[in-house]
C-alpha cells in the first residue's frame, strides 16, 4: 500500500506500540490512543531504592522471543545475558524445606543440580524426568497427530511426577500467566516447542534499560493521546471516526484496535461491528495478581539457597507459588534491599512490605481460540477492511510479548507495510555484575 494513511491505534500495550512503530516507519501518520496517563506497555515499571523494577520482568530466550528481540535490535536496543538459577521448596509444613537448587553450566548454559540433598533425594528422578520429557517431545513431533491438548499429552506419556509437577509445570504457569486449572486445555504444540527450546541451554537475555527503553523507541515520533479512554469508533463512509473522553475527535483511513476483546463494546459501534463483536467476545480472559514486595518469606529459608527463580509447592503439587529475585537480574538493583515479584502468592505477604500489586490479564487458550483466530485472520484479509484487531490474544502461542509482536506483524502484512527487522540477531553486551 503506497498511499500515506492516517491510522489510529487504540491501546499502547506491546501489540499497539509494535503496530504503531512498523506503520510509522512505513510512512503513515499514526495516532495512539491510551486510556492510562502514560504508556500501557511500561505503565507498571517503577523506581525502587534508586533502581528500576520492570513489571512484569522480561527475560527472553532468543529463539522463543525472536520477533521481539529482532524489533528491539532494529531500534538500536542492546541486550545483556542473565543466568536464571532456580530453587524449589516444599510449602505448608512445619518448616519450609528447599529440596532443589540449580545453577547454570559456564559452557552451554545447561542447568546443574548443585545441592547435595537435591542430588541424593531427587537427582535420579529429575534426570529421569528430563530424559522422559525429551523422548516424549521427540515422539510428539514425529507423530502425525499433534492436535492434542497438554493434558492429553501428559496422559499419553509417563513422565516422572517430581520433575513434571515440581519443575516443568511451575515454569509454564508463570510464562503463560494463567491458572493451573486452564493450562491443560492449551494446545500442546506451542508449549512443547517452548519446553524444547528451554531445555536446549540457549542464553537468556534482557533488554538494556528494560521495558521503558523499548517503549521510548517504539513511540518515537508517534502522536499519543493518553489519559483518556476511547468512547466511540464508527465507520463514516470511507473513513473511521474515533473519539475519546477528552473530546479529541478525528477521521482516520484505518484503525487498529489493540485492546483486550472484553473492552470492545465500550466504544465500537454495536450495529456496524455486530459480527466482529460477536466473534471477539468469545475470547475469554483470566486475571492474576503480581505482587512486588520485600518480604523474603517467599524465598528459601537459607540465604545461600536463594536463586533468581524460587518455586514453592506442596508435596501433592496442588498449590504452587513463583517468585523472581529482582536484584539478581536487574543491574540497577545490585547492592540494594532485596526485592521480589511473586505471581499469584499463596502464602501471605506482609502488607507493610508490599511495594505494588499489579493485575495481569491474558486470554484463555484452547482449541476454540484457535478456531476464533483463524476466522479473525480470514476476515482481516479483506481488501476493503477499515478496522483491524490485534493483541497477544490473537496468536495461539507464547510468550505473551512475542505473540503481541507477531500480531502486529500480521496487521502490517495486511496493510502492505515492510518488516525490515525480521531475522536480525540481538546485539549482546558483556554481562553486568548482578546480585546472585
- pLDDT digits over 241-288, tens only? 999 999 999 999 999 999 989 889 999 999 999 999 999 999 988 888
Of 10-24, 144-158, 166-180, 184-198, highest mean pLDDT? 10-24
- pLDDT digits over 298-336, tens only? 999 999 889 999 999 988 888 888 999 999 999 999 999
The cell for 67 is 520477533
Which pLDDT score, from 0 to 100, does residue 202 have?
Answer: 62
Interval 166-171 mean pLDDT: 82
Q: What is the rounded CA–CA span in Å between residue 97 and residue 91?
A: 7
pLDDT of 231 over the 80 cut? yes
Which pLDDT score, from 0 to 100, does residue 107 have?
Answer: 47
Which pLDDT score, from 0 to 100, does residue 108 have?
Answer: 47
In terms of C-beta density within 10 A (0-12 exposed, 13-18 middle, 19 or more buried), how is residue 4 classed? exposed
Which pLDDT score, from 0 to 100, does residue 366 have?
Answer: 85
Q: What is the value of pTM for the model shown?
A: 0.90
The cell for 310 is 524460587
- pLDDT digits over 327-351, tens only? 999 999 999 999 999 998 989 999 9
pLDDT confidence tier of residue 433, bands split at 50, 70 and 90: low
- pLDDT digits over 12-30, tens only? 999 999 999 999 999 999 9
pLDDT of 142 over the 90 cut? yes
- State yes or no: 35 annotated in a binding site: yes
Query: Would you put residue 416 in left (φ > 0), alpha (ψ -120 to 50) or beta?
Result: left
Which pLDDT score, from 0 to 100, does residue 240 have?
Answer: 98
Contact between 374 and 395 under an 8 Å Cβ cutoff? The reply is no
Which pLDDT score, from 0 to 100, does residue 263 have?
Answer: 83
- Domains, the chain, in order of start with CATH, read 6-45+208-283+364-414 (3.50.50.60), 54-61+76-205+285-362 (3.90.660)
Mean pLDDT of the chain: 88
Contact between 8 and 242 under an 8 Å Cβ cutoff? The reply is yes
- pLDDT digits over 81-140, tens only? 888 788 889 887 778 888 888 765 554 445 556 656 666 677 788 888 888 999 999 999
pLDDT confidence tier of residue 200, bands split at 50, 70 and 90: low
- pLDDT digits over 44-79, tens only? 899 999 999 999 888 888 888 999 999 999 999 999
Measured N-to-C along each axis, helices 66-74 and 14-25 cross at an angle, to the nearest 10 degrees, of: 50
- State yes or no: 230 annotated in a binding site: yes
Amino acid at each position: 500500500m503506497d498511499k500515506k494513511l492516517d491510522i489510529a491505534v487504540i491501546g499502547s500495550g506491546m501489540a499497539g506500540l509494535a503496530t504503531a512503530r512498523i506503520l510509522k516507519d512505513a510512512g503513515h501518520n499514526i495516532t495512539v490512543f491510551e486510556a492510562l496517563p502514560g504508556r500501557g506497555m511500561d505503565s507498571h515499571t517503577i523506581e525502587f531504592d534508586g533502581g528500576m523494577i520492570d513489571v512484569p520482568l522480561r527475560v527472553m530466550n532468543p529463539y522463543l522471543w525472536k520477533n521481539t528481540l529482532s524489533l528491539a535490535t532494529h531500534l538500536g536496543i542492546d541486550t545483556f545475558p542473565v543466568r536464571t538459577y532456580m530453587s524449589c521448596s516444599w510449602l505448608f509444613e512445619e518448616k519450609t524445606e528447599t529440596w532443589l537448587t540449580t545453577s547454570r553450566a559456564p559452557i552451554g548454559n545447561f542447568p546443574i543440580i548443585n545441592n547435595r540433598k537435591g542430588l541424593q533425594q531427587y537427582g535420579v528422578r529429575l534426570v529421569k524426568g528430563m530424559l522422559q520429557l525429551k523422548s516424549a517431545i521427540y515422539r510428539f513431533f514425529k507423530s502425525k497427530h499433534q492436535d492434542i491438548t497438554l493434558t492429553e499429552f501428559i496422559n499419553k506419556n509417563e513422565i516422572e511426577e517430581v520433575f513434571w509437577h515440581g519443575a516443568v509445570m511451575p515454569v509454564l504457569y508463570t510464562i503463560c500467566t494463567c491458572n493451573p486449572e486452564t493450562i491443560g486445555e492449551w494446545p500442546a504444540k506451542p508449549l512443547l516447542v517452548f519446553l524444547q527450546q528451554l531445555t536446549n541451554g540457549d542464553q537468556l537475555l534482557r533488554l538494556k534499560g528494560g521495558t521503558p527503553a523499548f517503549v521510548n523507541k517504539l513511540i518515537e515520533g508517534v502522536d499519543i493521546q493518553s489519559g483518556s479512554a476511547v468512547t466511540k469508533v464508527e465507520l463514516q463512509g470511507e473513513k473511521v471516526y474515533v473519539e475519546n473522553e477528552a473530546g479529541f475527535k478525528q477521521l482516520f483511513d484505518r484503525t487498529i484496535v489493540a485492546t483486550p476483546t472484553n473492552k470492545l463494546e465500550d466504544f465500537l459501534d454495536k450495529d456496524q461491528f455486530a459480527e466482529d463483536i460477536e466473534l471477539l467476545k468469545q475470547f475469554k480472559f483470566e486475571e492474576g495478581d503480581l505482587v512486588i514486595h520485600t518480604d523474603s518469606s517467599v524465598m528459601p529459608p537459607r540465604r545461600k539457597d536463594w536463586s533468581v527463580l524460587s518455586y514453592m509447592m506442596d508435596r501433592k503439587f496442588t498449590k504452587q507459588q513463583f517468585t523472581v529475585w529482582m536484584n539478581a537480574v536487574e543491574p540497577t538493583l545490585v547492592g540494594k534491599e532485596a526485592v521480589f515479584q511473586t505471581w499469584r502468592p499463596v502464602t501471605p505477604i506482609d502488607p507493610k512490605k508490599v511495594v505494588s500489586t499489579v493485575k495481569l490479564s491474558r486470554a484463555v487458550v484452547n482449541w476454540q481460540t484457535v478456531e476464533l483466530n483463524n476466522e479473525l485472520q480470514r476476515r482481516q484479509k479483506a481488501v476493503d477492511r477499515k478496522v483491524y484487531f490485534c493483541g497477544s490474544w490473537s496468536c495461539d502461542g507464547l510468550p505473551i510479548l512475542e505473540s503481541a509482536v507477531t500480531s502486529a506483524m500480521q496487521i502490517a502484512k495486511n496493510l502492505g507495510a515492510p518488516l525490515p527487522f525480521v531475522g536480525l540477531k540481538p546485539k549482546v553486551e558483556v554481562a553486568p555484575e548482578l546480585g546472585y
